[in-house]
Chain A
Amino acid sequence: MNLKRILLAAVLATAPSAAIADDFGVTDTAIRIAVQDSLSGAYSQYGVPSLNGVRYVFDKVNAEGGINGRKIEVVAEDDGCSPKQSVGVATKLASERSVLAVMGLTCSAAAIAVRDTVAPTTPMPFISFSSGGYTSSSPDLGGLKENFFFITPSVHTQGGALVNFVMNTLKPQRVAFIGQTDVYGKEGRQGVEAMLAEYGQKIIADDTMEPRGTDATAQVLKLKAANPDVVIAFLYQVPAQILLRQANELGLKATIVTSASVTDSSIYKSLPPAALENYYGSMMAKDVLDSARMKPIMDDLRARYPDVTFNPLVVSGIGAAELMVEALRSLGKDVTPEKLAKAIDQSKDVKTSALSYPVTFTPENHMGGRGLGIYEIKNNAEVLAMPGYWPGTEKASEPVVAN
C-alpha cells in the first residue's frame, strides 16, 4: 500500500466522525444552538441585534448554572439575508447534526426557503424571527411544517393589528393603503383588507412604492386626492422616510401608520416635527427601547455588547431565546431535536421579558406572534402610545395587556 492509499484510508476513516457529529450538539455538559441570520453586509442590522439578544438570554441562563447541568453554546452562522445562502447554511447544519436547533432567519424570503426545502429533511426545530409566517399559521395555507416556528406576527397579522388600532382609536371613515411593490406590501395589503372587511370598510385608495424609490410625489398626490383619514403603510425604512417627508411637504393631512419594519430611530431624526405630528409606528416590543420598562435590559445589553447598535428587532432574539430555554427545561436530561420540536409545539402563553404578546404554538399554528404595540413620536423620541398589543388575527376593540 503506497503512501497515497494510506492517507486516503486515514481520511475516509476519520471523515465521518469529524463531519457528522450525530449528537445534534447535545453532550453531558453542553447544548449547541445555531443562530443563522444576516450578520454581515447591507442587511446585518436585521441579524446582529437579534443574535446578541439570543446570546444575552443564554449567557444569563449559563451564569445561573445552565439547563439541567448543560451550558448553552451559540453557533453563529451568516446567511447574508439571501435565500440561496440560507438554504446552504441550513443544509450544512442539518447534515452535520452538530446543533440541536436553529434560530434566526430574520429575512422572510430566507426563512420561507429554509422552511420549505431544509426543514422537512431534518428533525431539528427552527425558530424564525421573520414576519413571513402567515402560511404557517394554519394547515389550510400550505406552509405548516412540524419543526418550523415563527416567533413574530406575520405581515398579514400586522395588517390586521394596525386596522384594529386604527378603527378603535382613530375611528376613520376613509382608510388608504400604500405598500411596497413586493410580497411584503402585497401580504400587508391582504391583512389590512381582511380586517377592514370585519369593520365593513374597504381600502379607498391603494398605492405602491419601490423599496428603493427616490420620490413619492405621485403617490402622495394620488393619496391626497382620495382624501383619506388614515394611511396604513407597509414600507421599509427608506421609502417610509420619503413618504413621511413628502406627505408633510405636499400637505397630506391624513394620519400615517407604519408596519413594524420601520425599526431605526434615524428616520425620525431626519424629519421635521410637523412630519411626525400625525404619525404612529408599530413594534413587537412591549415598550420602546429607551422606556423605563426596557431600559434595564437595554443597559445590560449595551454594556455586554458595546459594539452593537441595537434596534427593536433585538426583542425577537430575546423572546425566542426565552421560549427556547423554557422548552429545553421542560425536557429534563433527555434532550433530542424531536422532543424539543414537540415541546416548542406545546408552548402556551409563554410570557417573555421583551415581547408585547405571550407566545403560543399549536400543531395547527406555528406563528407565535399575535399583534403589535403602537408608539408615537413626541419631542423627537419614540413613546408608547398605549400599553399592550393590538391583536392581528381577530377583531379586537382594545389592546391586550399581557406583560
Chain B
Amino acid sequence: MTLSMLPQLMVAGVVSGSIYALVALGLVIVFKATGVINFAHGTMIMLGAYLGVTAAGPLGLSYPLAIVVAVAVVAVIGLAINESVYRPLLTAPHIVQVLATLAIANVLSGSIHLLWGSNSYSFAPSERMSPVMVNPLVITGQQLLIVLSAIAAMAALAAFFRWTRWGKAMRALSQNERGANLCGISTGKVFRIAVTTGAAFGAVAGVLYAPLTLVDPSFGWLLIKGFAAAALGGLASLPGAVVGGIVLGLCESLWVAVLPALWAPSLSYLIIIAVLLIKPTGVFGTPSGQKL
C-alpha cells in the first residue's frame, strides 16, 4: 500500500462503515427499548433489499419511490410481527423473547426464498452509480447517498430520543421498566414503536446497499457487521452504533490494503470478542448498575 491510496481507502471505509452503522442503528433501537438483541434484523435488511429491487425493477418505480415502498412495507411487516409474536411474549423470560426473534428470522428467510427463489437480483445501472468526484478521490452518487443517509438517520434518531414523548418513554423504559410503567408508559407501545422503527432502519440499510451489489439469499449476512459495530460502540448507544460502524469499515478497508484479505472476515468477530472481554458495554455504553 502506498500513502497515495490512503484517502480513497478512507472513503471506502466510511461508505462501508455507514452501511454497518445503519444496520447497527436498527439493532440498537430495539435493544435500547426492549433489551432484546433482534436476530431477525438480518432478514429485515434482506427483505428491504428484495422489495427495493422488485419495486425498481418489475414494478418500474423510481429509486426514491422504491426506497419508500420497501421501507414502508418492511415497517408494516415489523409491526405485524410485533403484534402477532412479540406482544404476546412481553412478560415472557428474556431468553424466550430472543429465541422468538431467531424463529422469526427463520420463518422470514424461508418466506423470502419462497417468493424470490435463490436467484440473484440487481438494480439497473444508473447515473447515481457514476462518480460525482474524481481525482484524487472517486466518490459515486450512491456512496454519497449512503453516507448522507446514515448521518440523517442518526440525527433523526437522536432527535426522536431527545425530544419526542415516545423517545423519552423508550429511554425511561430501558432504564427502569417498572418505574416507567408506574408513570403511565406502556411497555407494549414502546415495543411496538421500537420493533417497527428497527425494521424500517433495516430496510433502509438493505435498499441503500443493494445497488452496490447483488441481492441474493445471503444478503442478510450484513447483520454480523452491524452487530460488530453495535457491540463496539455500545449496544444501547446511538452515537456508539455510528462510530462503531465507521471504525469497523475503516479497519476493514485498511486491513485489506495492508494484510491479506484472508483475515478480513475474522475482524468483525475479533472486535466482538475483544469488546466483550475488555468493555462488555461497548466504547460508548454505560454499565446498567451504577455506584451511588
Contacts and interface: CB of A to CB of B under 8 A. Distances in A.
Contact of A42 (B11, B121, B217, B254): B217
B122 interface: yes
B92 interface: no
A238 B216 contact: yes
B8 A264 contact: no
Interface in B65-109: none
A225 B1 CA distance: 9
A238 B221 CA distance: 13
A312 B261 CA distance: 29
Interface string B257-281: 1001110110000000000000000
A214 B209 contact: yes
A209 B130 CA distance: 23
Contacts, number: 120
Bin chain A's interface residue count.
35 or more
A217 B261 contact: no
B261 A219 contact: yes
Nearest to B217: A42
B262 A218 contact: no
Interface string A171-208: 00000000001000000000000000000000000011
A277 interface: no
B118 A43 contact: yes
A20 to B, nearest CB: 34
B9 A217 contact: yes
B218 A270 contact: no
A267 B214 contact: yes
A212 B222 CA distance: 9
A41 B217 contact: yes
Nearest to B252: A215
B158 interface: no
Interface in A37-67: 40-45, 48
Interface stretch (B12-20, B32-40, B168-176, B193-201): B12-20
B119 A264 contact: yes
A42 B131 contact: no
A213 B117 contact: no
A266 B257 contact: no
A208 B260 contact: yes
A41 B119 CA distance: 11
A138 B152 CA distance: 60
Contact of A210 (B8, B9, B217, B261): B261
Given A218-B256, A266-B120, A266-B121, A237 B216 contact: yes
B182 interface: no
Chain B interface category by residue count: 35 or more
Contacts of A48: 118
Contact of B8 (A212, A217, A242): A217
A84 interface: no
A238 B256 CA distance: 17
A241 B210 CA distance: 12
Contacts of B5: 218, 221-222, 225
Contact of B265 (A181, A221, A225, A309): A181
Given A210-B265, A221-B5, A249-B131, A270 B125 contact: yes
B138 interface: yes
B257 A221 contact: yes
Interface in B223-276: 225, 252-254, 256-257, 260-262, 264-265
Interface of B: 1-2, 5, 8-9, 11-12, 15-16, 19, 113, 117-125, 129-131, 138, 140, 209, 211-214, 216-218, 221-222, 225, 252-254, 256-257, 260-262, 264-265
Given A241-B214, A242-B212, 18 more contacts: A42-B113, A42-B216, A45-B117, A45-B118, A181-B261, A181-B264, A213-B261, A214-B225, A217-B11, A219-B261, A221-B9, A222-B257, A237-B120, A238-B213, A250-B8, A264-B120, A270-B123, A272-B125
28 contacts: A45-B119, A45-B120, A208-B261, A212-B218, A212-B221, A214-B212, A214-B213, A214-B222, A217-B12, A218-B5, A218-B9, A218-B254, A221-B9, A222-B1, A222-B257, A238-B213, A238-B218, A241-B214, A249-B138, A249-B140, A250-B8, A251-B138, A264-B214, A267-B122, A269-B122, A269-B124, A272-B125, A272-B129
The 10 A-B pairs with the shortest beta carbon distances in the complex, nearest first, are A270-B122, A217-B12, A42-B217, A218-B257, A218-B256, A208-B261, A272-B125, A44-B118, A181-B262, A266-B120
